[in-house]
């Protein structure tokens, strides 16, 4: 079966969706990602959808699910590269993908994820020693 | 209104949606529809095809290129022989779903197209017709 490759880059997982997803492919991506986060302890997931020209409510829900599930597993999801026509359509459809951080491109997405991870670690450190600064 | 082109496609499996979407895209491009409107009609078509598969085990879709003389557009007719919809006004509400999914397919589709019509009879089936004008 066709699969969407998941790349590991340090603490981040990178997924580039190159084809227009159909249901089973999207569902298997969701399952594969969860498994991969568990296996690698990844802290961030970057999904590049710049090649995706259609997102309907099913696909939108899968992306939302991936973000929600990653969060439970302590990883942040950033979706990058949404085509403007897709973004306009999603809003009219009634699904503005709230809760999933969006960035313009992979580079910006990486930056966003890295800074979020650094912030999270700082917060954890701060609460661990209990000292107020 | 004249029909410039008409084709019938059968959708009984998930993978049938891909060639249908491609064909729709070809026609939309051919009449010079802009990218945003193309994306809207293809997304709407995707929702309606999915509904047909999910609730009616598939059906048929007629793809037509139509013209009023002043304006060209695309008309899609999704026809299935599934269980039908008992309460259409309810099904047209945002968030209403008997499948615990998002319930945006029908109301969202209506917002994405220029004209929307749904007819359904319990035990007989459902027909949804949508038109997207090139500049609509
Ligand atoms: N072709 C159809 N045949 C029978 N019932 C349908 C059909 N399309 C939609 N429905 C009913 O209308 C409801 C709303 O559909 P929709 O707005 O697409 O949301 P969703 O698919 O997420 O439930 C569905 O849950 C289903 O009960
Ligand atoms: Mg639906």
CA distance A125 to chain B (A): 39
Report which bound ligand comes closest to the CA of A94: 1
Q: In testing the pocket of ligand 1, which one of B49, B61, B89, B91 has its CB within 8 Å of the most ligand atoms?
A: B91
The string over A51-68, giving b where at least 16 C-beta atoms fall within 10 Å of a residue's C-beta and e elsewhere, is ebbbbbbbbbbbbbebbe
Contact call for B50 and A54, based on CB within 8 A: no
The predicted-structure confidence for B66-108, as pLDDT tens digits, reads as follows: 999 999 999 999 999 999 999 999 999 999 999 999 999 999 9
The one-character DSSP state at B92 is T
Atom of ligand 1 nearest to the CA of B80: 1
CA distances for A125 relative to A13, A67, A71, angstroms: 24, 25, 19
- Would you kindly state where each structural domain of chain B is located, as residue ranges? 2-133
The predicted-structure confidence for B11-52, as pLDDT tens digits, reads as follows: 999 889 989 999 999 999 999 999 999 999 999 999 999 999
Single pTM value for the model = 0.90
CA distance A9 to chain B (A): 32
Distance CA B90, CA A113 (A): 41
Distance CA A125, CA A11 (A): 18
CA nearest to B130, candidates B34, B18, B32, B51: B51
Distance CA B88, CA B38 (A): 27
**Quick one: average pLDDT of B106-120?**
98
The low-confidence residues of chain A, meaning pLDDT below 50, are 128-133
Atom of ligand 1 nearest to the CA of B107: 17
CA dihedral A45, A51, A56, A61 (to 10 degrees): -10
Structural domains of chain A ordered from first start: 6-125 (3.30.750.24)
Task: Tell which CATH architecture fits domain B2-133.
Answer: 2-Layer Sandwich (3.30)
């Amino acid at each position: 079966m066709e699969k969407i490759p998941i790349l590991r880059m340090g603490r981040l997982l990178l997924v580039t969706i190159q084809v227009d997803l159909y249901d089973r492919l999207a569902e298997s991506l969701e399952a594969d990602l969860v498994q991969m986060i568990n296996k690698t302890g990844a802290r961030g997931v970057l999904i590049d959808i710049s090649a995706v020209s259609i997102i309907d409510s099913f696909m939108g829900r899968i992306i939302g699910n991936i973000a929600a599930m990653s969060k439970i597993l302590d990883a942040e999801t950033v979706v990058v590269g949404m085509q403007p026509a897709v973004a306009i359509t999603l809003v009219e459809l009634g699904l503005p993908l709230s809760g999933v951080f969006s960035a313009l491109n992979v580079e910006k997405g990486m930056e966003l994820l890295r800074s979020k991870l650094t912030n999270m670690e700082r917060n954890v450190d701060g609460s661990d020693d209990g000292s107020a600064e | 209104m004249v029909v410039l082109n008409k084709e019938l496609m059968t959708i009984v499996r998930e993978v049938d949606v891909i060639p249908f979407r491609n064909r729709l895209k070809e026609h939309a491009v051919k009449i010079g529809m802009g990218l945003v409107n193309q994306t809207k009609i293809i997304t709407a078509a995707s929702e309606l095809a999915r509904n047909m598969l999910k609730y009616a085990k598939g059906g048929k879709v007629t793809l037509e290129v139509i013209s009023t003389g002043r304006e060209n557009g695309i008309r899609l007719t999704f026809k299935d022989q599934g269980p039908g919809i008992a309460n259409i006004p309810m099904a047209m509400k945002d968030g209403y779903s008997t499948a615990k999914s998002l319930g945006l397919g029908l109301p969202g589709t209506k917002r994405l197209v220029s004209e929307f019509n749904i007819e359904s009879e319990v035990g007989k089936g459902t027909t949804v017709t949508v038109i997207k004008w090139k500049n609509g």
